[in-house]
Chains A and B, each alone.
Chain A
Amino acid sequence: MKLRSVSIDGYGKFAGREIEFAPGLQIIIGPNERGKSTIRSFIGDMLYGQKRSALHRLFDETNELRTPWHNPDCYGGRLVYALSDGQVIEVARNFDRKREQVQVFDHTSGLEITQDFELLRNKEVNFAAKHLGLSKEVFLNSATITHFSLEHLGDNDALKQIREKLMSLADTGEEEHSAETTLALLRERIEAIGQPSARSKPLPSTRAALMLLDQELTAAREREESTAKVADERRALLGETTSLRQERLELEEMLALHQQRACKAQCEEADALSAQVDKLNQRCAKLRALEEFPLKSVPKVQAAQQEVDRLRAQLKRTRAENKTVQDQFNAERQHLNDEQDGGVIDLPEELEGRFTDLNAAVQHTGERLKESVAALAEAERTLAVNQENIEKLPDFSRISSDPVEWITQLASSYDAARRSREEEARTLAEVTADVDERRQNIAKDHALFKEVSDFSEKAREYDLKERVLEQETTRVQTNMGALEEQRDDIRDDLPGMLLLVGLCGLSIAAIVVAYFVTKNYNILILGGVIFLAMLYFLRNYLLTHKRLVEIEATICNNGIPPKPHSEEEDGDAQIAALMAETGCETVRELEATYDAYRAASAALSARIHVLHEQEARAEEAAERVPRLLEHVTEMFREVGVTVETEDDVQRAAGSVIARYQEYREAKKNIAESHSQIDRQNKERVRLEEMLARDREQLVSVEDALRKIMTAAGIAPEPGRSMASALRAYRNATSERREHRARAELLQDRAHTLERQIHEEQLEIEKADQELARLLAHAGVSNIDDFQHQAERAREFREQWNQRVQLQERLDAVLKGEKIEALRAEVAEVVIEGDPPAQSREELTTALDTLNARIEANLEREHALHISITERAAGGRSINEIEESRTVLAKRMTDLEHELEATSYAMAVIDEIARDKHARIAPRLAERASAYLSEITGGAYQEIDLARDLGIRVRIPDTNELHTAPEKSLSKGTVDQIYLALRLALVQCVSDVGEPIPMILDDPFANYDDHRLERTLKLIAEISDENQVLLFTCREDVVRAAETVNAPVIRL
Chain B
Amino acid sequence: MQQYAILCYDDERVVGGWSEEEDAAVMARLAPVHKDLATAGQLAAAGRLEVSGAGRVVAKGAEAPVTDGPFAETKEQLLGFYVVTVEAESEAVEAARALARASTSSGHYEVRPLRLFRGDGGPP
Q: Do A and B make up one complex? A: no
Residue numbers of B with Cβ under 8 A of A are: none
Residue numbers of A with Cβ under 8 A of B are: none
